[in-house]
Structure 1
């Protein structure tokens, strides 16, 4: 209890100290860039495209689009100005467009941490469209300090040009990200070692990621079977399953010396369901990652080494 009180006290002191540098009375008020200081920046790669906007006195507004995912939006701040709870999102006209009525978008969930507001794809698209229309999305929530409203406005100035660059960036993103292919698997029917078209499509995505990420230093390919049949036959079948996946990766351009193939037979079941045990797992290890001591019995896991 004392530790919790201490943390809240430190947070309040930080907010009060910040208030000396913010406009208006106390810490509550409106935060947003004006005509002279509104800028948008694009950070682009084949892994992610991010449109970043500095909100003076508050932090940043970011549209983020990771490979293999859709557009999202979040506010980022070190100040912890907003009280956690239910806030509102409204699209407003800038001051130089009087008479244009604001459009409510809906409620937003405000949380603690560096990213108090995170929006899904639908709301991120609504925000982007409103900015292209010359409007200003505004998030409002009570302040930590005294409960008065904190308004964070996202400026449309200089947005359009950078958004067009973002669209070009998004068109060249990889089909997947490391979270989607870093640990994955291919499953087989009983006694089979054949790849389906869906399997090959998935492996093509893995290859695309490996070819783009120079930090991938090892690719572990581990073959497995269920426990039906003899252990000798299962060991041979698991080797064939590892080989067929590894050979496909090599045929698509992955360097053979990058791949480590292993076969385990029925030694490491992943589940009580036999269908989930007939598999080959693929794990990508990047520079700086410690492989650790892992068994080959989990989804997408590989054995030690």
Structure 2
């Protein structure tokens, strides 16, 4: 519906021209509204610019050094096409010229997300740092041509903030997340607050760096309070609760769950502290 309204409006503007040309839907932010917002997390820092009615673009630097440029497009304006990214002088840079070749988006285009790889991302970063603009350009079948302009206004100071943020990121290794322990209260299948924080961090790791991970295995365990059969069922519910949490936080890898019940304890069950250590789910990543 949103796309049809834009096409109808653009078509009205073209009545005075040729009837066979595609309507052009052009988007840009007013100079006074151009902002680069910095967002930071444990694994990446990103600069974000909003383009009214179109969506937003992000320049992302990850803890492993990888640089990504992507656009999140408003629903109805993008249907998975390849997108051309062109660099051009800013309006106040008359006489300057840039290579005419367009950079193509990668295959990771889904749910309104357009992503460019390492080399295009670096070219965009250097161009914006030098005051140039960038333009996203694509067509929606024979319905319309879409063009979104990315402004370099205020980018240099934003880039300094991005580099400061990246300097604070800690190196990430697979060994840091290969095994995660989540603990539970007596008789409960709800992860503790600390366990939920660990799972949220694991989910973000998998979202960003989890490409090589084939299977996420969640194994539930209990203490020895109660019968063996009830503890087996409780261990399975604990593993399922972890699976549910990871799915809700965007984990797409295959997840297998299992229960060992009260067997395979990591501590004796003679003290409350030992029993607390045994009430756990172990999450293992398999590449």
The normalised TM-score by structure 1 is 0.52
1:85 Cα deviation after fit: 3.2
1:96 Cα deviation after fit: 2.3
Q: Secondary structure of the residue that 2:172 maps to in structure 1?
A: coil
Q: Which residue of 2 aligns with 1:77?
A: 73
1:61 Cα deviation after fit: 0.3
Aligned pair in 2 of structure 1 residues 80, 181: CA closer, same or farther (>3 Å)? Answer: farther
Q: Which residue of 1 aligns with 2:131?
A: 134
- Does the aligned pair in 2 maintain the 1:92–1:101 contact within 8 Å? yes
CA offset digits 1:2-44 (Å, max 9, x no partner) = xxxxxxxxxxx33113557889949733212231111110012
Aligned pair in 2 of structure 1 residues 22, 294: CA closer, same or farther (>3 Å)? Answer: farther
Q: Which residue of 2 aligns with 1:183?
A: 178
Q: Which moved more, 1:92-101 or 1:158-167?
A: 92-101
Aligned pair in 2 of structure 1 residues 70, 288: CA closer, same or farther (>3 Å)? Answer: same
Q: Which residue of 2 aligns with 1:122?
A: 119
Between the aligned partners of 2:149 and 2:140, the Cα distance in structure 1 is 15
Between the aligned partners of 1:215 and 1:77, the Cα distance in structure 2 is 30
Q: Which residue of 2 aligns with 1:198?
A: none
- Does the aligned pair in 2 maintain the 1:80–1:112 contact within 8 Å? no
1:95 Cα deviation after fit: 1.9
Q: Which moved more, 1:27-36 or 1:42-51?
A: 27-36
Aligned pair in 2 of structure 1 residues 126, 165: CA closer, same or farther (>3 Å)? Answer: same
Aligned pair in 2 of structure 1 residues 91, 293: CA closer, same or farther (>3 Å)? Answer: same
Q: Which residue of 1 aligns with 2:87?
A: 91
CA offset digits 1:158-193 (Å, max 9, x no partner) = 11111101001111112117x7742269xxxxxxxx
Aligned length: 193
Q: Secondary structure of the residue that 2:152 maps to in structure 1?
A: coil
Aligned pair in 2 of structure 1 residues 101, 289: CA closer, same or farther (>3 Å)? Answer: closer
Q: Which residue of 2 aligns with 1:43?
A: 39
- Does the aligned pair in 1 maintain the 2:243–2:257 contact within 8 Å? no
Does 2:2 match 1:14?
yes
Q: Secondary structure of the residue that 1:43 maps to in structure 2?
A: strand
Between the aligned partners of 1:109 and 1:167, the Cα distance in structure 2 is 25
Aligned pair in 2 of structure 1 residues 289, 74: CA closer, same or farther (>3 Å)? Answer: closer
Q: Which residue of 2 aligns with 1:247?
A: none
Does 2:23 match 1:58?
no
Between the aligned partners of 1:112 and 1:132, the Cα distance in structure 2 is 28
Aligned-residue Cα RMSD (Å) equals 3.9
1:286 Cα deviation after fit: 11
The normalised TM-score by structure 2 is 0.55
CA offset digits 1:56-90 (Å, max 9, x no partner) = 12000001223335111100012332453333221
Between the aligned partners of 1:38 and 1:22, the Cα distance in structure 2 is 24
> Which residues of 2 match residues 1-305 of structure 1 at below 5 A?
13-17=1-5, 25=13, 28-103=24-99, 104-109=101-106, 111-115=109-113, 117-144=114-141, 146=143, 148-176=144-172, 181-183=176-178, 215-216=197-198, 288=245, 292-293=257-258, 300=284
Between the aligned partners of 1:34 and 1:86, the Cα distance in structure 2 is 27
